[in-house]
Chain A
Amino acid sequence: MEIIEKIKTNKSIDNQTEIQKICLDKLQSNPLPNPKSEQWRLSNKSKFSKFLDYTVNKKDPKFDIPFPNTSQSIIRLVIGNNCQINLIEKNYSIKQLSEDELHKYIKEQISSFNQNENWSDLLNLSLSCKNNILGLKINGSKIPPIEIFSHASSNSLNAKTLVIFLEKDSDIELLQVNLGKENSSLSQSTFFCLKENSSVNHGVVSFGENRSNLLNSLNVIQQKNSEYNLGSLHFKFNYARFEISIKQSAGKAKTNIKGMQITKKDEQISTYTKIEFNGPNGFLDQINKSLADDKSHAIFEGSIIVPKIAQKTDASQLSRNLLLSNLAQIDTKPQLEIIADDVKCKHGATISQLNEDELFYMRSRGITLPEASKLQLSSYFQEIISFIPVSKDRWDLLDKLLNEK
């Protein structure tokens, strides 16, 4: 397959690491995801093939996006060349993972990969070289918020990998920002391991420019009594996939997810989530919102898997969708697979347009139609945006969403 050839002949990957070799081997036997599999069935094939059109770029150009101003103390990292950190303070420590630790962990993960579900991870790991993998071990509390950036460069395909170990009893606020560039593809894979009693407020904000593409994969393992809160927002990508896989490895963990995707023009953005409960007393509260306008296509597929061992699981999932144009499309497929009997599981899904009664009310009070729609949209967006940590003030997300042309 072409992509494999591309990866192989690309001079930047002369000295393949062991992980790259393993992943390349796996990809070679199955170069592209099966388009008939549930995870890829609705994916726009021509858009997806464009993702692979760009040449692999190992060297990062300078990060030329101005950081938003902040008065708060914050730890900022950009995945790419020479990104290093080693902080040991009184309350906390943030250390770089050693190469051995990193390799061992990634290899373990690869061994449990499913060719279709983890295709994006396989691609990512076969492309991302040593410099583009950031591994962190975080310990302690009262840690300043962390912002981690991944960005693509124009006319190329970039792959970045992030591995985070959050030690026992630690808690952090982490915002990941994935920035697309014009005519670019970004492959971002994140592996997050939450040890016992740890807690994270995780934000993932991805936005691009014209014709930027994104494959964003997030793998989370939660040990007992950990709490994982995820707020995510994806917009302005010609083609983007956000794949979330969360495993509560021994149950008794809490997961809250609030995600949103906004598509315009002829964009296609999809979110796939898979949440597995491998122990009793797990908790999940998930909401996913989509908005599709113009000729765009928004997709959500969320599966919740509750095996026999996961008694007393309490899981709920809601998919709310706004369809604003005659030519736009929305697909949503919440999915429950339950074997345990003592569980509370529910899901819901709605697709509609803006509420006409509310619009009418506002207009009868002298608010113009565009203003009234904006008001409605902002309340629709705000629920998700307010859940994204660190970002609220600095990234002007609401403003970006409402005023973007």
Chain B
Amino acid sequence: MVNENLVKDVVKEPYKYGFVTDIETEKIAKGLNEEIIRLISQKKDEPKYLLDFRLKAFKKWQKMKEPDWAGLGYKQIDYQDIIYYSAPKQKEKISSLDEVDPKLLETFDKLGIPLTEQKKLTNVAVDAVFDSVSIATTFREELAEHGVIFCSISEAVKNHSDLIEKYLGTVVPASDNYFAALNSAVFSDGSFVYIPKGVTCPMDLSSYFRINSGDSGQFERTLIIAEESSSVSYLEGCTAPMFDTNTLHAAVVELIALDDASIKYSTVQNWYAGDEEGVGGIFNFVTKRGKCLGKRSKISWSQVETGSAITWKYPSCLLLGEESVGEFYSVALTNNLQQADTGTKMIHIGPKTKSTIVSKGISAGNSINSYRGLVKMGTKAKGSRNYSQCDSMLIGDQASANTFPYIKSQQPNSEIEHEASTCRISEDQLFYLQSRGIEFEEAVSMMVSGFCRDVFNQLPMEFAAEADKLLALKLEGSVG
């Protein structure tokens, strides 16, 4: 029933973000040691507490072992063969966007990211991170009027040192895991968001991460703090050029929500996934965690994961505050030789906490797509509830879909419900759609989009459209 050639044609759809920007960059020598960390810290002109934080993390990292429990098969990473700091050469300080290298602006134009404030096509404030350094943040003044701080972490270290010192590493401690420790030691830049008490952020905030060099890793760090009764929606997008080598991306994201605050964090991850033979591609090892500290606070993760050769990512919620809410909506798509091990952790600590997990995995080609999640009810989580749903769709008979939900309860007065299913695109449905005059490709894309609808409904408008397109592009015709 399937046209073989069509399948091949569409699967070969090139990665359109694979270009390299030829721009002068400043890189430090390869390798990782205390000197390098001191150098990074010095380049960024950091206060002592931050250097200490880095060095402590580095000491811990040296004692740790790379985790292997996910059973991901990948080439051993040589941590001494990575450049830990790479920045586009530019003037000492940029006061306006006009001073940014035009080539850089061109890059972001190609990616479809409106950096220039004149182009107010979408009402989204953007922080663009190119390799290790944040390039530009838009809409700052307008945000400042509301008291919202949205800047790069390096700037925040300079201008809002108290907040950084208070919150950095409180959600994901430096010793949390191997990759978080590595990030804590060498993180170069990232975004910082602070929403003051009672403020609803007037626009969606967005950061855009771009890896440009083939031999430098990207280690960004994001910290979002939502004070009492505030709310914010944050979007994150990622792309990288095509290289034959594997590039390491180890990010840490920390969210803190106080009483009645709400944070919505959406990601569309489309790092370069490697070619059909599995050569190249990004190794994506990310630690994302949110802390619902306050009463009735809410953290919602939604993600669309389509890129990276290896994805190792478990956005989690620590539900401490009474009646706090954690949500996780995910679509993970793998094709060719991609491997994704993703899921979430919902740790219910406070009473009457609620969490919802909806995960959709689509595996095609020779890929492996696993959902791995933990739901834990602590002894004090009286009256808490969890609902999880993980569905997998298999396309082709070489792909594999795994589900590993860990469920632990120590509180009788709580309820956990979990359900999972695996299916494939039904031939009957395809036949029906085709008999109604809908092209084969369109029918597949319709069905995949229907399969993911629960998650797409949770994405902000701009992202939902992009995600839908992205999936269609990556998948159409790969049914075999």
Seen from chain A, the residues whose Cβ lies within 8 Å of a Cβ on chain B are 308, 311, 321, 323-353
| B410 contacts chain A at the CB level, 8 A cutoff | yes
Which residues of B lie under 8 Å from residue A337 when comparing CB positions?
400, 402
Take A308-B397, A341-B397, A344-B423 as given contacts and tell me if A353 and B413 are in contact as well, using a CB distance cutoff of 8 Å. yes
The distance from the CB of A230 to the nearest CB of chain B, in whole angstroms, is 22
Take A343-B422, A350-B417 as given contacts and tell me if A328 and B412 are in contact as well, using a CB distance cutoff of 8 Å. yes
Tell me whether A341 and B420 are in contact (CB under 8 A): no
Take A341-B395, A341-B396 as given contacts and tell me if A350 and B418 are in contact as well, using a CB distance cutoff of 8 Å. yes
Which residues of B lie under 8 Å from residue A328 when comparing CB positions?
410, 412
Which residues of B lie under 8 Å from residue A335 when comparing CB positions?
402-405
CB contact between A341 and one of B394, B413, B421 (< 8 Å): that residue: B394
Contacts of B344-398 to chain A: CB distance below 8 A = 377, 379, 392, 394-398
Take A325-B412, A330-B409 as given contacts and tell me if A346 and B399 are in contact as well, using a CB distance cutoff of 8 Å. no
| B408 contacts chain A at the CB level, 8 A cutoff | yes
Number of interchain pairs (Cβ within 8 Å): 111
**Which label, helix, strand, loop or mixed, suits the secondary structure of the B interface?**
strand
Tell me whether B412 and A326 are in contact (CB under 8 A): yes
Tell me whether B406 and A331 are in contact (CB under 8 A): yes
List 10 A-B pairs, minimum CB-CB distance, nearest first.
A341-B394, A349-B418, A346-B421, A345-B422, A339-B400, A351-B416, A323-B412, A348-B419, A336-B403, A351-B409
Chain B CB within 10 Å — which of A321, A325, A330 has the most? A330
Considering only CB atoms, which chain B residue lies closest to A297 in the complex?
B410
| B424 contacts chain A at the CB level, 8 A cutoff | yes
Tell me whether B397 and A340 are in contact (CB under 8 A): yes
Chain B CB within 10 Å — which of A308, A324, A331, A336 has the most? A336
Tell me whether B408 and A331 are in contact (CB under 8 A): yes
Which residues of B lie under 8 Å from residue A343 when comparing CB positions?
394, 422, 424
CB contact between A333 and one of B395, B404, B421 (< 8 Å): that residue: B404
Give Cα distance in the complex from A340 to B399, angstroms: 7
| B407 contacts chain A at the CB level, 8 A cutoff | yes
Take A338-B394, A339-B399 as given contacts and tell me if A346 and B404 are in contact as well, using a CB distance cutoff of 8 Å. no
Considering only CB atoms, which chain B residue lies closest to A311 in the complex?
B397
Which residues of B lie under 8 Å from residue A325 when comparing CB positions?
412
Tell me whether A349 and B409 are in contact (CB under 8 A): no
Tell me whether A308 and B419 are in contact (CB under 8 A): no
Tell me whether B407 and A349 are in contact (CB under 8 A): yes
Give Cα distance in the complex from A330 to B409, angstroms: 5
Give Cα distance in the complex from A351 to B408, angstroms: 9
| B81 contacts chain A at the CB level, 8 A cutoff | no
Which residues of A lie under 8 Å from residue B320 when comparing CB positions?
none
Chain B CB within 10 Å — which of A328, A349, A353 has the most? A349
| B401 contacts chain A at the CB level, 8 A cutoff | yes
| B434 contacts chain A at the CB level, 8 A cutoff | no
Which residues of A lie under 8 Å from residue B405 when comparing CB positions?
333-335, 349
Give Cα distance in the complex from A346 to B410, angstroms: 25
Give Cα distance in the complex from A353 to B408, angstroms: 14
Give Cα distance in the complex from A326 to B421, angstroms: 32
Give Cα distance in the complex from A352 to B417, angstroms: 9
Tell me whether B422 and A344 are in contact (CB under 8 A): yes
Beyond known contacts A323-B410, A326-B412, A349-B405: 15 more, CB 8 A cutoff: A308-B397, A331-B406, A333-B405, A334-B403, A336-B422, A337-B402, A338-B401, A340-B394, A344-B421, A344-B422, A347-B403, A349-B407, A349-B416, A351-B377, A351-B415
Which residues of B lie under 8 Å from residue A351 when comparing CB positions?
377, 407, 409, 414-416
Tell me whether B407 and A331 are in contact (CB under 8 A): yes
Give Cα distance in the complex from A330 to B398, angstroms: 35
Which residues of A lie under 8 Å from residue B415 when comparing CB positions?
350-352
Tell me whether B424 and A338 are in contact (CB under 8 A): no
Considering only CB atoms, which chain A residue lies closest to B394 in the complex?
A341
Tell me whether A336 and B401 are in contact (CB under 8 A): yes
Give Cα distance in the complex from A324 to B410, angstroms: 10
Which residues of A lie under 8 Å from residue B395 when comparing CB positions?
341
| B116 contacts chain A at the CB level, 8 A cutoff | no
Tell me whether B407 and A308 are in contact (CB under 8 A): no
The distance from the CB of B136 to the nearest CB of chain A, in whole angstroms, is 45
Give Cα distance in the complex from A349 to B412, angstroms: 15
Give Cα distance in the complex from A334 to B403, angstroms: 8
| B458 contacts chain A at the CB level, 8 A cutoff | no
Contact string against A for B residues 290-315, beta-carbon threshold 8 Å, 1 for contact and 0 otherwise: 00000000000000000000000000
Take A326-B412, A330-B408, A331-B406 as given contacts and tell me if A348 and B420 are in contact as well, using a CB distance cutoff of 8 Å. yes
Which residues of A lie under 8 Å from residue B408 when comparing CB positions?
329-332
Chain A CB within 10 Å — which of B401, B412, B424 has the most? B412
| B411 contacts chain A at the CB level, 8 A cutoff | yes
Tell me whether B401 and A324 are in contact (CB under 8 A): no
Which residues of B lie under 8 Å from residue A321 when comparing CB positions?
409
Give Cα distance in the complex from A341 to B362, angstroms: 11
Tell me whether B399 and A323 are in contact (CB under 8 A): no
Tell me whether A334 and B420 are in contact (CB under 8 A): yes
The distance from the CB of A375 to the nearest CB of chain B, in whole angstroms, is 19
CB contact between B419 and one of A329, A332, A341, A346 (< 8 Å): that residue: A346
Which residues of B lie under 8 Å from residue A333 when comparing CB positions?
404-407
Which residues of B lie under 8 Å from residue A336 when comparing CB positions?
392, 401-403, 420, 422
Which residues of A lie under 8 Å from residue B418 when comparing CB positions?
334, 347-350
Tell me whether A350 and B422 are in contact (CB under 8 A): no
Give Cα distance in the complex from A321 to B403, angstroms: 19
The distance from the CB of A262 to the nearest CB of chain B, in whole angstroms, is 15
Chain A CB within 10 Å — which of B377, B395, B422 has the most? B422
Give Cα distance in the complex from A348 to B411, angstroms: 19
Which residues of A lie under 8 Å from residue B423 when comparing CB positions?
344
Which residues of B lie under 8 Å from residue A324 when comparing CB positions?
412
Which residues of B lie under 8 Å from residue A334 when comparing CB positions?
403, 405, 418, 420
Give Cα distance in the complex from A301 to B68, angstroms: 20
6 A-B pairs within 8 Å (CB atoms) are namely: A308-B398, A330-B408, A330-B409, A332-B408, A344-B421, A350-B415
Considering only CB atoms, which chain A residue lies closest to B380 in the complex?
A326
Considering only CB atoms, which chain B residue lies closest to A344 in the complex?
B423
Which residues of A lie under 8 Å from residue B398 when comparing CB positions?
308, 339
Tell me whether B411 and A326 are in contact (CB under 8 A): yes
Give Cα distance in the complex from A330 to B404, angstroms: 16
Considering only CB atoms, which chain B residue lies closest to A303 in the complex?
B404
